[in-house]
Amino acid sequence: MPILQLGKDVPLNLIFIQKIACFAARSTHYYSYISKNKLFNLVFKMSVVTVFVESNNASSERRFQKSLTIDELKMRLEPIVGIPSVDQRITLLRGTALICEISNADDPSRMLGFYPVEDYMVLNVANTNPSIAARLNFNDESQVEKFVMDDDEYDKRNDTVRAFKRRHNMGRFADGKSAMSIDEEDEFKEDAAKIAVGSRCEVTMAAGDLGRRGIVRFVGKTSFRPGFWVGIEYDEPVGKNDGSMDGVVYFKCAAEHGSFVRPDKIVTGDFPEEDLFGSDLEEM
């Protein structure tokens, strides 16, 4: 609908809407409920516009009332685009074609409906403050401090995607018995070298788990899996075997007291056997 001006920059279409609404409210004898409902929808559609709001850091679809003043519009846009209302420069576009700049410099009471805004046009919001604009440019990756790990250090880790691919001969490591396939036999070698048979230890399989205490009975390679393993004789029957796996005896202990874990799950030291049933109240 073309917009004609009446009085002090008040869109004629808004005056027309108000008159129709008042007329419909008084004409209860001439309009059915359905007709008034349709009229309400028409009035609502003419008074609300759906636009795309775009800036350097945001892009979204929004609905605004045409009766908003430009100052009110800028306040609504501030949390959307992250630009203070006083630093906003708003331009209206149809696609990429510039229609006009939306400003209330000439009249503080000017409303959004004063401008030829229609559904699915674009409100482009720019930042006129250079210092703030530089800080708010979230698309500039150079402003983000990044964590960088040395490639050699990354290569030594056993919990990475690269290590997983090497162990399973995947990707660039899929050419038969690759270099890492050979290294797989020495997995956890350095950790295992720090553990001595006969040491007291505590095993923690996952964060938050209660540690299980026992004695180191075996350190070395096994036939059931590549790499280095540690055989533990637990103080309590919380294990999975008696020190043997697949018919091979690595050490001997009571049933359900033995288990094999990776060296990185073990801490050796002064871990005395816990008396689960003892109490300080039993001796004075």
- Give the per-residue pLDDT at 108: 86
- Give the per-residue pLDDT at 284: 41
How far apart CA 204 and CA 196 sit, in angstroms, is 18
Angle of the 12-26 helix axis to the 33-47 helix axis, nearest 10:
160
pTM of the model: 0.39
How far apart CA 256 and CA 186 sit, in angstroms, is 28
The pLDDT tens digits of the residues spanning 130-151 come to 776 556 566 666 666 778 888 8
Tell me the one-letter amino acid at 249: V
How many other CB atoms sit within 10 Å of the CB of residue 51?
20
How far apart CA 49 and CA 123 sit, in angstroms, is 11
Query: Lowest-confidence range among 86-100, 241-255, 266-280?
Result: 266-280
The pLDDT tens digits of the residues spanning 103-133 come to 988 888 899 989 999 999 999 999 888 776 5
The pLDDT tens digits of the residues spanning 264-278 come to 999 999 999 876 655
Residue 262 to residues 213, 227, 236, 243, Cα–Cα distance (Å): 15, 9, 19, 15
- Give the per-residue pLDDT at 23: 56
Model confidence at 215: pLDDT above 60: yes
- Give the per-residue pLDDT at 242: 94
Q: Give the chain's mean pLDDT.
A: 80
- Give the per-residue pLDDT at 282: 45
Q: Beta strand pairing status for 5-6 and 121-127? A: unpaired
